[in-house]
Structure 1
Amino acid sequence: MNPRVSIIIPFYNDPYVGQAITSALEQTYPNVEIIVVDDGSTQHLDQIAPYMNRVHYIGKANGGTASALNHGIRLASGEYIAWLSSDDIFYPHKLSVQIPFMLSRNASISFSAFDLIDEHNRITEYHVGPRFPNVASLYGAMRHGNPINGCTVVAQKEMLLQVGIFHEALPYTHDYDLWVRLILSRVHFHYLDQPLIQYRWHNRMGTLKHRPAIEQEIRLIQSSYAHSLEAYVRELGG
């Protein structure tokens, strides 16, 4: 059985988007749809043009990454959702490894390790990823930060819709917020300790440009969920 996977690529003025789309198209997994959500871009649209007949292209007014992801998720026909940032790259075998991994464990969500690359596609660090002895340790770590790289995640669409998908009022930490809500909804995260994507670290990335705002959002999320997370970790014996 090869359930359909919808790869959502949110795009806003990113010169690397062509590489992201190419990596989605090169997936060896046989049942994929690719949805590129243009979040009101004014630059680098020429990078998408060569792929228009092979992807679903959706344009919308600028609303941020969370709104672009949510738009794509709602329109996706896949049973599973994979998020690919427009400056990152999926390895060709990502879904061929991750979907069987999930099916064998009846997992509704999983994430993996990754390799770091720079602006020139050079790998700067191999096999980056959190290694926790058990889920209680992982969930306990979520009280202090987000160890889950969103572009390594594959999740069931139905589950995401039930929990409430991404919080659009959080421009930068919508993924952290969603992972915590999923954990508190008793969704079990499965970790695959194998690099399945290349995560690009470069000077134009939002993680660097918007650091003060990101830190403020992180504090807000932590204050909102701290007690609930603490109680659940204790319940798990952590």
Structure 2
Amino acid sequence: MVQIDPEVSVITPAWNAEKTIEEVISSVRAQTFANWEMVIVDDGSSDGTREKLVAATLADERIHPVFLSENSGAAAARNKALYLARGRFVAFLDSDDRWKPDKLAKQLAFMKKHQYAFTFTGYEYMDASGRPLNKIIHAPQRVTYHDLLKNTIVGCLTVMIDRNQTGRFQMPDLRSRQDLATWLKLLKQGFTAYGLDENLSAYRVGSRNALSGNKWKAAKKTWFVFRRVEGLPLPEACWYFCHYAANAAIKRFS
């Protein structure tokens, strides 16, 4: 029997995600587009994540769990999934977020119609319990390398990439912001990220205090990417970082 490769590979790192992983998987299984595989890399979880993944693959053969013996970080988990992924298109979904049912269908049609290599969409915030916070992040029409340095508007949970155009890629070995560094790398190679301004995903945030702390950590890691990964000179890094900080504030409080 000839095995047909899935058209889309969903890349999901998971670490101690027993409270949310079933909801995440359900949002993928509910997609109106059915020709996908979901490669979930368990990054050395110590809770019940492994058992839930085993049960999920028994329920749906399109779900492929991989188990790492020790915690190595989201970059290593995503890279393992990217290495194993068989789809032409790769889409990213973390273990505490979720997609709307028509996310893959609409985004894939958008990419094929325009022959785009790199796309992203709008998304909304939800609280730790999964309730909508009535806040939508809209996707601009296009984002270039310099645009992304000024405004990190591309949500990882919304990204889809055509590897027939970009070639296979891996994320840099960073504990945080490896997704931003990856998008910058692709854009620096000459690709443009095109936005589909529809709310097709939900991003989970924690408490107000946790969110503030995460924003501060994200800012420090963004500065690290600017200076150490992208190698921006200090004046240029400061210029872009000021734009990044202003846009982050607007996104949070608008």
Q: Please classify the TM superposition score into its range, dividing by the shorter chain length.
A: 0.7 to 0.9
| Residue of structure 1 equivalent to 2:199 | 195
Q: Which runs of 4+ in 1 moved over 6 A?
A: 204-207
Write the deviation string for residues 33-78 of structure 1: whole angstroms up to 9, x where unpaired. 1111101101132433431222111001311111111100110111
For the pair 1:48 / 2:48, whether they are aligned, the reply is no
Q: After the TM superposition, which residues 157-196 of structure 1 pair with which residues of structure 2 at under 5 Å, given as runs?
A: 157-159=163-165, 161-162=167-168, 164-168=169-173, 170-196=174-200
* Equivalent of 1:155 in 144, 156, 161: 161
RMSD: 2.6
**Does the CA-based 8 Å contact 1:4-1:32 persist in structure 2?**
yes
* Equivalent of 1:7 in 10, 14, 17: 10
Distance 1:123 1:63 in 2: 31
Q: After the TM superposition, which residues 129-140 of structure 1 pair with which residues of structure 2 at under 5 Å, given as runs?
A: 129-131=138-140, 135=143, 139-140=145-146
Q: How many aligned residue pairs are there?
A: 222
| Residue of structure 1 equivalent to 2:37 | 33
**Does the CA-based 8 Å contact 1:145-1:218 persist in structure 2?**
no
Partner-residue secondary structure (3-state), 1:33? strand
Unpaired segments ≥5 residues, structure 1:
231-238
Unpaired segments ≥5 residues, structure 2:
237-254
**Does the CA-based 8 Å contact 2:98-2:202 persist in structure 1?**
yes
Distance 1:145 1:205 in 2: 23
Range with greater deviation from structure 2 (213-222 or 75-84): 213-222
**One-letter identity of the residue aligned with 1:165:** Q
**One-letter identity of the residue aligned with 1:202:** G
Write the deviation string for residues 126-146 of structure 1: whole angstroms up to 9, x where unpaired. 4312436x54xx543322342
| Residue of structure 2 equivalent to 1:89 | 98
**Does the CA-based 8 Å contact 1:141-1:147 persist in structure 2?**
no
Aligned residues with identical type, % of pairs: 25
Distance verdict in 2 for CA 1:206–1:98, change over 3 Å: farther
Deviation of 1:121 (Å): 1.7
| Residue of structure 2 equivalent to 1:234 | none
* Equivalent of 2:65 in 57, 60, 66: 57
For the pair 1:23 / 2:27, whether they are aligned, the reply is yes
TM-score normalized by structure 2?
0.79
**Does the CA-based 8 Å contact 2:6-2:37 persist in structure 1?**
no
Deviation of 1:30 (Å): 2.4
